[in-house]
Amino acid sequence: MVSAALSAAKHYKAAQLAPANLRNIASKSGLLIDGIEVPSKEDAEYLSCTAVEIRDNIVDASKSKWTAQRVMSAFIRAAIRSQEHTNCLTEVMFIDALETAKKLDEDFQQDGTVVGRLHGVPISLKDLIHVKGLDASIGRSAAVTLPTADAGSAADHLSEHDALIVSIFRGEGGIPFCKTNVPQTMLSFEGSNPVFGATRNPYNPMATPGGSSSGEAALLASDGSPLGVGTDIGGSCRIPAAFSGCYGLKPVSGRMPSLGLVSPNEGFESIKTTPGPMGRSPSDLELVCRVVFDACVERRTSRVLTGVMPLPYRDVTLPEKLKLGYYLTDNLCTTSPACQRAVLEAVRAMEKRGHECVLVDAPDAVQNIKLFASITSADGYATLLASIGTDPKESALYLTTLGPSVPGPLRWLGLSLASLFLGDSKFLSIAAESRPKTISELQQVQARRQRYANATRSRYFANEASGGLDLDAIICPTMPIPAPTIGSAGTVSAIAAATIAWNIVDSSVGCMPVTFVDPEKDALPKDWSAQCQGSSFLESQIYGVEKAGKRLSGLYDAKAMAGQPVGIQIVGAQWEEEKVIEIMKAVDVALGFRGFGPGEFLKSHPSS
């Protein structure tokens, strides 16, 4: 039964986000000559520019049709359209955003004032990022501010301050204009919670956009925002970027400030959440990094906040010939034909440009997910699950949180029986790690993680004299499969090991779209079962099972997924965000036009 509090929260938020209501509010603002609800003939031009181009055009006095107000109006209309099709929004700041844009235009017209490197650029934010005067409910009904009898009374849950990263954006002339949806507890690669419901993939409404930066990816990929910020603790920027067809970056923890971010698991520091830029081109990611990295130095953030590196943005010149490693699959779940093809297309494109690409062994995915499960379950997920209060638990959390809820003797018996019937030692070794731990046990796991991370970094990135491969970066799958159907993540959450690997190691990692699923090229070959060498349980869920010479369907279906984006990871060493972005640019150029980037979604989906 849905609680009264949850029901009230859902109805209140739904009323706030109803597209007709948004249009009505905006059109009554009196800030725009044409009104917000009527598309402008210039909209397509505004929506087809990178964030850098938007800023440069707004501050170019010779381009009179480019104003912060007109750009903001276009993206508000686009965000409304994205909300209608993907259910991506949680909070809107349209009136405030239009007022800010108007002030920027007035000051610029009066004396040429340019506030900063984000002057007039609309910015969307993942829901966990505090914005003064708004909720940061992350889909929890208890954290939704409801209207009170005393309309003027202060609300308990409204954010009192902007997050530091929002303050930095405002200081550079950026305009936050909406917040976006997340999965319950944000420990899932889907995008559903009891308050806002499920966010849908812009390319396929039956598929998830990924998570946990779910709404950000859906909004950006459908041209509803030019620039956004998500977070990443296990792939939360990269998985949505790959599933939805946009660009994302996971910086090393400490490169971007986390002050003012809501956590459902307060005090958890073993694997750090890091904010990460998301956009529609590598230059969008670069712009955010330049602004935030430099601001953290200028504001002397490291003197106030623990763990923030005082390292400004450093311009990087790539060598003429890069040495790139690549791998196609790992030892936990065999990568699908679509996702292997994406890696190979990027590799072949870079080889044609004269770069060296060498096949390398993948990191140990089983070890990575065991470490992640062991660390995150140390308190039995008690803190994490307490955060949802009386809300019903989403299905995506079922298998992840099952282990600690089973008493020790029963867990041991269950694992023993499962081992007997499943014969899957890999999956069961992961399940065995998901349990409460003593402080001593947790310290041992953390020490194991550090040894593993150091060894992995040395293997790939140390110079040859030190026994390493001396790679500039690694090209690899983001996930074993493209975006699966909504509601399917519950039993296969472990496949996020593909991204979790680089949170365990704490590398600088980018994600970018390469291609779309092709129903013929990406169909499973007849000998697919012979190629599968990972967890039999996970692979049966992903690819189905063969019976009497026929394959019973699994989550991967190239025909059903036809036209969905497929992305790759570009993995660099620690503190090499700038280099990763430059390599992403190089791969982007090498691959050429392929239907991604600013304005491309609306060209191919004019009715969306």
User: Which one of 3.90.1300.10, 3.10.580.10, 2.60.40.10, 3.40.1410.10 gives the CATH number of domain 14-313?
Assistant: 3.90.1300.10
Count of CB atoms situated within 10 Å of the CB of 568: 28
Residue 35: CB partners within 8 Å, gap ≥ 6?
26, 27
Q: Give the model confidence (pLDDT) of 231-279 as tens digits.
A: 999 999 999 999 999 999 999 999 999 999 999 999 999 999 999 999 9
Count of CB atoms situated within 10 Å of the CB of 536: 16
**Per-residue pLDDT at 64 exceeds 70:** yes
Q: Give the model confidence (pLDDT) of 439-481 as tens digits.
A: 999 999 999 999 999 999 999 999 999 999 999 999 999 999 9
Q: Which two tokens stand for residue 382?
A: 């008690």
Q: Give the model confidence (pLDDT) of 205-223 as tens digits.
A: 999 999 999 999 999 999 9
- Predicted confidence at residue 425, as pLDDT, reads 87
Q: Establish whether 377 is an annotated binding residue.
A: no
pTM to 2 decimal places: 0.94
Count of CB atoms situated within 10 Å of the CB of 181: 33
- Predicted confidence at residue 116, as pLDDT, reads 98
- Predicted confidence at residue 18, as pLDDT, reads 57
The more confident residue out of 67 and 302 is: 67
Q: Establish whether 165 is an annotated binding residue.
A: no
**Per-residue pLDDT at 317 exceeds 70:** yes
Among 227, 235, 113, which Cα is nearest to 165's? 227
Most confident stretch, 336-345, 402-411, 538-547: 336-345
| Mean pLDDT estimate for the chain | 91
What is the architecture of the domain spanning 324-589? Alpha-Beta Complex (3.90)
Q: Which residues of 103-142 are buried (b: 16+ CB within 10 A; e: fewer)?
A: ebbeebeeeeeebbbbbbbbbbbbbbbbbeebbbbbbbbb
Count of CB atoms situated within 10 Å of the CB of 304: 11
- The phi and psi torsions of 289 (rounded to 5 degrees) equal -65, -45
Determine what percent of the chain is predicted with pLDDT higher than 90. Answer: 80
Q: Give the model confidence (pLDDT) of 279-315 as tens digits.
A: 999 999 999 999 999 999 999 877 777 788 999 999 9
CB 126 within 8 A of CB 180: yes
**Per-residue pLDDT at 372 exceeds 70:** yes
The more confident residue out of 403 and 439 is: 439
User: How many residues belong to the chain?
Assistant: 608
Count of CB atoms situated within 10 Å of the CB of 321: 11
Tell me the pLDDT band of 29, cut-offs 50, 70 and 90: very low
Q: Which two tokens stand for residue 530?
A: 């012979």
Tell me the pLDDT band of 416, cut-offs 50, 70 and 90: low
In the chain, the largest separation of any two C-alpha atoms, in whole Å, equals: 77
- Predicted confidence at residue 414, as pLDDT, reads 65
Q: Give the model confidence (pLDDT) of 555-586 as tens digits.
A: 999 999 999 999 999 999 999 999 999 999 99
Q: Which two tokens stand for residue 131?
A: 């914005």
Q: Give the model confidence (pLDDT) of 501-519 as tens digits.
A: 999 999 999 999 999 999 9
Residue 450: CB partners within 8 Å, gap ≥ 6?
none
CB 332 within 8 A of CB 494: yes
The CA–CA distances, whole Å, from 310 to 255, 272, 294, 306, 389 equal: 8, 18, 8, 11, 38
> Across residues 121-133, what is the average pLDDT?
98
DSSP code string of 171-226: HTT-EEEEEE---GGG-SSS-EETTTEE--BTTBTTB---SSSHHHHHHHHTTS-S
Catalytic residue positions, numbered: 126, 212, 236
Q: Which neighbouring-strand residues pair with 197?
A: 193
**Per-residue pLDDT at 130 exceeds 70:** yes
> Across residues 135-142, what is the average pLDDT?
94
Q: Establish whether 212 is an annotated binding residue.
A: yes
- The phi and psi torsions of 192 (rounded to 5 degrees) equal -125, 145
- Predicted confidence at residue 23, as pLDDT, reads 44
CB 572 within 8 A of CB 562: no
**Per-residue pLDDT at 115 exceeds 70:** yes
Single-letter amino acid, residue 191: G
CB 429 within 8 A of CB 44: no
Q: Would you give the distance in Å from CA 204 to the centre of its chain? A: 18
324-589 has the same fold as 14-313: yes
3-state secondary structure of 227: strand
Question: Which of 144-158, 218-232, 325-339, 474-488 bottoms out in mean pLDDT, i.e. has the lowest?
Answer: 144-158
Tell me the pLDDT band of 326, cut-offs 50, 70 and 90: very high
Beta strands in 383-525 (DSSP E): 473-477, 509-516
Intra-chain end-to-end CA distance of the chain, in Å: 34
The more confident residue out of 608 and 456 is: 456
**Per-residue pLDDT at 129 exceeds 90:** yes
**Per-residue pLDDT at 391 exceeds 80:** yes
Among 121, 133, 132, 244, which Cα is nearest to 181's? 244
Q: Which two tokens stand for residue 494?
A: 């472990």
| Alpha-carbon span 213 to 231, nearest angstrom | 7
Tell me the pLDDT band of 149, cut-offs 50, 70 and 90: very low
Among 217, 216, 241, 212, which Cα is nearest to 478's? 241
Single-letter amino acid, residue 90: T
Residue 183: CB partners within 8 Å, gap ≥ 6?
139, 189, 190, 191, 192, 193, 211, 212, 214, 394, 396
| Alpha-carbon span 84 to 177, nearest angstrom | 17
Q: Establish whether 235 is an annotated binding residue.
A: yes
Instruction: Indicate the domain borders of the chain.
Output: 14-313, 324-589
Tell me the pLDDT band of 410, cut-offs 50, 70 and 90: low
Question: Which of 303-307, 332-336, 424-428, 433-437 bottoms out in mean pLDDT, i.e. has the lowest?
Answer: 303-307
**Per-residue pLDDT at 142 exceeds 50:** yes
Residue 175: CB partners within 8 Å, gap ≥ 6?
68, 72, 97, 100, 101, 104, 120, 121, 122, 123
Q: Which neighbouring-strand residues pair with 552?
A: 545
